Structure 1
Amino acid sequence: MRRLPSRVFACLLLLTALPACVRNVPASPSADAEALGQIQAWEDRRSLGEGQLVAWAQGQRGTGVQLRALRALARIQDPATLEVILASLAASEPQVREEAAFAAGQLGLSWEPLAEEVKARLTDALRAAEAAEADAGVRRTLLESLSKVNTPGAVQRLIERLGDSREGVAGRAALALGVVGRRGASLAEVPLERVGALLAPEQAEETRYGATYLLVYLKRPAALELLRQCAADASPEVRAICAKGFAEVGGQDDAPVLGKLLADPVPRVAAEAARSLAKLSLKCEGPCATLEALRGLKRQAGAVAAGASAEGHAILALAQTGLSPSGRSVLEELRRALREAPRGASAVALDDVAWLDCRLAAAMDRQAGAIAEVLRCGGDRVPEPRRVALGLREVALGQTPAGQGGAKDAVNWLRHADARVRLSALEWVAARPGPEALEAVRALIAGDDPVVAGAAAATAGTMKATEALPEVRALAARVPQEPDLAEPVAGALVALEGKEAEPLLRTWLGHPHSNVRRVAAESLTQLTGQPVRSSRVEMPADTFRPPVAPTGAKLTFRTKKGDITVALDTEQAPLTSGNLYALARKGYFRHVTFHRVVPDFVAQGGDPRGDGEGGPGYSIRCELTHRPYLRGTMGMALAGKDTGGSQFFFTHTPQPHLDGRYTVFGEVTAGMDVVDALLEGDVILDVQAEP
């Protein structure tokens, strides 16, 4: 979120102590403690305090209170506060201008799209403030906020700054442009020669990283030579993001470059190379150079069997991406290489080998359009529900028509005892709808498991099964009490009822949960063809708030691969850190898995269901701060605004597109090698909370 000056980038690489890496909102001796407590209460309720919060954001109670009030406005994201935020961009104190710049960016990044006139006002004000700003820190925050607003005018200003000679500005502008490109903005006017100049070896690492990140999302064939250049960069972070760029513009001639990166000593670099090679191989109708290069992963297979878990990320990246049928022999070879585990291999190594074998087996089933290989993978070390759920999900992602008996088999899986299998079977049916499944889908909509019921409703919508409307309507009646049902049920109502669903969806616009309102607004926009945005609704005064964790709190996650220690940010994210701290003290995470691992991105855990859909039975508010997502950052997983619960993630590498979107509430201080070694299904033995 915040800039990456050289001292912060150094923290990223060296994983030094968290407080040294990011400047907090400064404490003010004159800050009124009672006022700060009141702001926290308003923020929790998403309230403007009948106008008092806005008045304090104008400086009525001093700088300390003003800073905290602006932070609250950034988190509430109400367009009605636009004017006070923009006025604060001209404050005399740099820290106030920086907090206002952050708030403006957060408003631009609202979960519900802003009206065009609001975005235009934001763009004009941010451009004017950036042009006049003398403070380097404030200016960098302004550049980041321009990327969050993501308008043509904002993009143009960022392009102009690519040629800025002031220290760090061009690199930050390049990174910001890469983020807007990732979010779909046009980068057609970005001059490639300016980007190339930022890649020169004499440039700071932060600058080279920002330029490489931008290259990836330019997606221009003309950028290929620059990608070949950055592939040899001294920084593993630059090499990793560089390898990612080949997937869009590379070709078979780039197999040697990516093959070299596949052998990189840093596993996350090899993982990105494997992913790009796999994506390029999907275009092959027969043997090709990129497929041949992927056979080099046999080295990683041997290393995993010998106990080097992190080496498995390259194999996992390949399996998650998949290969065309012409690459089946590559998958078979890698499975054979995995099975050649040395005698006396540890239980951890054997578990890793078993899971990666099933991952490759699922990729083979994806090619065939039906599950078969996953039914006999893993050497009995992977339970049947995990194998079947994985296979069904992968087959659903594939483009191959269903294999013989597929529809009948899918119906049987819909009736499986394990919820993970039922959810994956619903994905299969949604991808290949057929009348055979309708009865089973309707039964699941009316079932006891709300997660499965919601997924079944969404599947009925995909099937256009109007026969399921009674069950969908009954499920819709549960949304006011069960907000997590809103998204799948709304999709089903729009698909099955069309405009007749409008009256019900309009009642959701007044729901106290912001994500329900967002879903309703998006659905009504789709139905009416006119932009619909909900109004802010205050949450009840008795809304649940977890206890605050003590200052200096830390969590130690114990796994069979080692311990991961996290320093919690109790100052800037007291609610989020306190929530996980309290859950840990209750033993909530004992035997819960890391259910999602995406190499060179995140390792995610904290779901007691194990399917990515579970939580503690309540949700907490987002606490967005200036903290950026660096390597080893801990963030709160979300399904929409203010939907945090118990699911968290660790980042393997910087993820600037997450900045300002997901609450950062901790940093790995020991055990980053364990984070790198995690694979899907690794179990949290326990979490120790200190003090």
Structure 2
Amino acid sequence: MRRPILRGLSLSLLVLVSGCAHTGRGSDTAPPDPEVMSRIQDWEDLRSLGDGQLVSLATGAPDSRVRARALRALARIQDVATLDAVVAGLRHEEPRVRGEAAFAVGELALSWEPLTDAERGRLTGPLLEAEAVERDAQVHVTQLDALGRLATPDAFARLVERMQGSEVEVAGRAALSLGVAARRGGAAVVKDVPLAPALALMASDRPVAARYGGAYLVATAKRAEALPSLRRCLTDEDADLRALCAKALGDVGGPEDAVVLGALLNDAVPRVAAEAARALAKLAATCSGPCVPLEVLKTLSTRVARVAEGKETPLPVGSAPREATRARSAEGHPLLALAQQGLPDFGAPVLESLRSAIADPRLRGQASEVALADLGWLDCRLAAALDRQRGELAEVLRCGWARVSEERSLSLGLREVALSRNKAPAEFAEKYLSHSSARVRLTAMEVLAERPTPRTAAMVAELLRSEDAVVAGSAASTLGQLKDPSTLPGVRALADRVPAEPDLAAPVAGALVALEGAAAEPRMRQWLLHPHANVRRVAATALTEVTGKPVRSERVALPRDTFRPEAAPHGAGLVLRTDKGDITVRLDAEDAPLTSGNLYGLARKGYFNGITFHRVVPDFVAQGGDPRGDGEGGPGYSIRCEMTRRPYLRGVLGMALSGKDTGGSQFFFTHAPQPHLDGRYTVFGEVVSGMDTVDALLEGDVIREVTAVTLP
């Protein structure tokens, strides 16, 4: 399959970075039995082991393709009872089977209900034995990934050994695997891992994938000894590396790094500039006197002013209107990143100067309607950052020049104020609990959870009866934080809705544990038998907390009448039309038929028309597909996860989740590689054209239409 966004990458780089599924080599010539493959798909969808038949196929099917497909199903089901079957596959003579077994090990290690140390140990030994003799490059990549996901001492020791080896591509992948472990578990998990081999991998003469692997470990380890290499990395020819190292300097650098980071504010790639702005904001928070990072950030407003004066332009000569719009929108990502990160109180002048610069009539006078909407939103973003500093709503009440709705500006401002260091009672938020917008009510509760008033619990308790499950669940979560026992009857009544409304499980369980402790155990025991995997996971987590002993739920097969979308056809694609241009996506109908078919079917119904991209984090993701617009909505059902061995490279389409098997209609595009998402969120497509449009998206951009198409 042709993948334009990967054009120019070498084969070795693709093997190292992607770990794509091995097609296998063997004697199987005729197509595998379609009836058997269909049964495997059926068991996988229903989260069933088929009364032992699925395990039998994974361990004894004569056709290696059937055995590999059964192992993929076990990887997605994630049942610890299948550990031995997975281990058996690590020793198979066919690479495709060994690869799927190694992938299954990694998926079990990533289970939403964590494995015990003993279970991780049962997987580590056989995987180390298999890795020691593996000769297939793609299988080896998957094994290294799985070792990092297991994160046991022996697994780390092997990865360190490989990172120190002479095979630079293997070394780079081992470093990446260690870095992902640190990203998931915190820098402390790699505190004993030597950084010298990773620093050596960052040398300019190493392949880009090896440099990236080394830099990823260095960035997530967060140690001062890496500073010289991180500083040199800021001039790397690869944009992803420059962005990664800029991000790392925000965590371990000092004011002396402000100047070198400031040079990246003018980087030709906006996501690199966004990481530089974010890192400078982090460094500003460490200032105790004159603050060089703030002085450098002031140059952002100087640049905006020069554009307004016509002395500087980010636009290529002869740009078409949409090209110009995309270029200007992408230029806004550093401002968005800065506003999202926030500045200390003494950084207010920087935020104010940026607001003044983008409000310049000369700049607005040359802007298109789309660009004006962007500028209005950025003004509100900066205004909300100011309100976060002060701990009250003020600037967002008059931001955006009437181009941002009250609902959006209020919910934004309240959410930022909830993050304020000001913990004085927030009476001003009380009136928003009765606002007509659910989004505003939700963010008002966020503020009052952090800064309660004498009336907070009683007022929030009224929302427990809301027909809107998201609002009711948020009320329960807030009351759990407030720990007011008088609200327990209302929370218990809401708990009665959980069997029919599984999305309520997490906030209600948290509230019950906070308000009644061990008395919540009987209800949680009932939830352990619920057919929805995430309800069982929530119950197990709650029981672990209240009993002080590890509790894991039993796997429960889904009812046969559980909704399953029709699989997407071969060559299925989507075209998303926005005011900034079109985005064409090729769906992975082969490896993720359920997830691809779900979005394909929703698109054919016009479901996405008029929905926004509600979340944009520069150099990370652009997320959309929520009919509510607040990140809490979906189509009214959930689908199962379909984890694949495809990695989250730039331009990949993934399914947003709030727990195991909770996919619906929310999706995201990645701006840059995100290896910590691999194997955790379903990859089900990639951008084949329009990546410049993805780069230009800001929060609130509308999806005008999504068309289901067939791509060659």
Q: Normalised by the shorter chain, which TM-score bucket?
A: over 0.9
Per the TM alignment, residue 12 of structure 1 is displaced from its structure 2 partner at its CA by 9.9
Counterpart for residue 447 of structure 1: 466
Counterpart for residue 86 of structure 2: 85
8 A Cα contact 1:101 1:126, kept in partner: yes
Q: Deviations over 1:520-544 (max 9, x none)?
A: 0011101111100111110001110
Counterpart residue identity of residue 334, structure 1: L
Q: 1:567 aligns with which of 586, 595, 600?
A: 586
Counterpart residue identity of residue 290, structure 1: P
| Counterparts of residues 12-161 of structure 1 (less than 5 Å) | 22-23=20-21, 25=23, 29-161=30-162
Counterpart for residue 492 of structure 2: 473
Per the TM alignment, residue 397 of structure 1 is displaced from its structure 2 partner at its CA by 1.1
1:438 lines up with 2:441 in the alignment: no
Specify every segment of 5 or more residues in structure 2 that has no aligned partner in the other structure, as ranges: 308-312, 316-323
Q: Deviations over 1:310-368 (max 9, x none)?
A: 01111111000100111000000101111122424100110000000000000000000
8 A Cα contact 2:377 2:400, kept in partner: yes
Counterpart residue identity of residue 409, structure 2: R
Secondary structure at the residue paired with 1:667? strand
Counterpart residue identity of residue 489, structure 2: P
CA distance in 2, matches of 1:368, 1:567: 46
Counterpart for residue 211 of structure 1: 214
1:388 lines up with 2:389 in the alignment: no
8 A Cα contact 2:19 2:141, kept in partner: no
- Name which of structure 1's ranges 559-568 and 54-63 shifts more when overlaid on structure 2: 54-63
C-alpha change, 1:687 and 1:8, in structure 2 (3 Å) is: closer
Counterpart residue identity of residue 215, structure 2: T
Q: 2:255 aligns with which of 252, 256, 270?
A: 252
Q: 1:373 aligns with which of 395, 417, 425?
A: 395
| Counterparts of residues 223-622 of structure 1 (less than 5 Å) | 223-298=226-301, 299=303, 302=307, 307=325, 308-340=328-360, 341-402=363-424, 407-622=426-641
8 A Cα contact 1:490 1:523, kept in partner: yes
Secondary structure at the residue paired with 1:661? coil
C-alpha change, 1:23 and 1:100, in structure 2 (3 Å) is: closer
8 A Cα contact 2:417 2:447, kept in partner: yes
8 A Cα contact 1:581 1:689, kept in partner: yes
CA distance in 2, matches of 1:178, 1:86: 25
1:651 lines up with 2:670 in the alignment: yes
Counterpart residue identity of residue 366, structure 1: R
Counterpart for residue 320 of structure 2: none
Secondary structure at the residue paired with 1:183? helix
C-alpha change, 1:484 and 1:12, in structure 2 (3 Å) is: farther
Per the TM alignment, residue 678 of structure 1 is displaced from its structure 2 partner at its CA by 0.3
C-alpha change, 1:668 and 1:146, in structure 2 (3 Å) is: same
Per the TM alignment, residue 166 of structure 1 is displaced from its structure 2 partner at its CA by 2.0
8 A Cα contact 1:146 1:154, kept in partner: yes
8 A Cα contact 1:73 1:81, kept in partner: yes
8 A Cα contact 1:162 1:171, kept in partner: yes
Per the TM alignment, residue 546 of structure 1 is displaced from its structure 2 partner at its CA by 0.4
CA distance in 2, matches of 1:445, 1:469: 11
Q: Deviations over 1:160-201 (max 9, x none)?
A: 111111251000011111101112252122222212211111
Counterpart residue identity of residue 172, structure 1: R
Q: If the length of structure 2 is used for normalisation, what is the TM-score? A: 0.93
C-alpha change, 1:654 and 1:339, in structure 2 (3 Å) is: same
8 A Cα contact 1:9 1:206, kept in partner: no
8 A Cα contact 1:619 1:643, kept in partner: yes
Q: Deviations over 1:108-164 (max 9, x none)?
A: 111101122111111112111111212222111100001111222212211111111
Secondary structure at the residue paired with 2:583? strand
Q: Deviations over 1:260-297 (max 9, x none)?
A: 11111110101111111001111224540001111122
8 A Cα contact 1:8 1:21, kept in partner: no
CA distance in 2, matches of 1:686, 1:466: 48
C-alpha change, 1:270 and 1:373, in structure 2 (3 Å) is: same
8 A Cα contact 2:19 2:647, kept in partner: no
CA distance in 1, matches of 2:440, 2:503: 20
Secondary structure at the residue paired with 2:706? strand
C-alpha change, 1:269 and 1:28, in structure 2 (3 Å) is: farther
Q: Deviations over 1:371-397 (max 9, x none)?
A: 100000000000001001000000101
8 A Cα contact 1:415 1:440, kept in partner: no
CA distance in 2, matches of 1:316, 1:450: 31
Per the TM alignment, residue 411 of structure 1 is displaced from its structure 2 partner at its CA by 0.9
CA distance in 1, matches of 2:565, 2:29: 26
CA distance in 1, matches of 2:250, 2:88: 44
8 A Cα contact 2:246 2:276, kept in partner: yes
Counterpart for residue 321 of structure 2: none
Counterpart residue identity of residue 59, structure 2: Q
CA distance in 2, matches of 1:525, 1:319: 38
Q: RMSD of aligned C-alpha atoms? A: 1.9
Secondary structure at the residue paired with 1:186? helix
- Name which of structure 1's ranges 121-130 and 295-304 shifts more when overlaid on structure 2: 295-304
8 A Cα contact 1:549 1:581, kept in partner: yes
8 A Cα contact 1:300 1:312, kept in partner: no
8 A Cα contact 2:623 2:666, kept in partner: yes
CA distance in 1, matches of 2:623, 2:610: 14
8 A Cα contact 1:285 1:324, kept in partner: no
- Name which of structure 1's ranges 320-329 and 334-343 shifts more when overlaid on structure 2: 334-343
8 A Cα contact 1:28 1:63, kept in partner: no
Counterpart residue identity of residue 292, structure 1: E
Counterpart for residue 4 of structure 1: none
CA distance in 2, matches of 1:23, 1:183: 23
Counterpart residue identity of residue 494, structure 2: L
- Name which of structure 1's ranges 124-133 and 613-622 shifts more when overlaid on structure 2: 124-133
Secondary structure at the residue paired with 1:58? helix
CA distance in 2, matches of 1:21, 1:181: 20
8 A Cα contact 2:168 2:210, kept in partner: no
Counterpart residue identity of residue 683, structure 1: V
C-alpha change, 1:67 and 1:328, in structure 2 (3 Å) is: same
8 A Cα contact 2:364 2:372, kept in partner: no
Q: Deviations over 1:61-117 (max 9, x none)?
A: 411111110000000011111011111101111111111100111111111011221
CA distance in 2, matches of 1:546, 1:615: 15
C-alpha change, 1:391 and 1:342, in structure 2 (3 Å) is: closer
Per the TM alignment, residue 21 of structure 1 is displaced from its structure 2 partner at its CA by 9.4
Counterpart residue identity of residue 95, structure 2: P
C-alpha change, 1:74 and 1:237, in structure 2 (3 Å) is: same
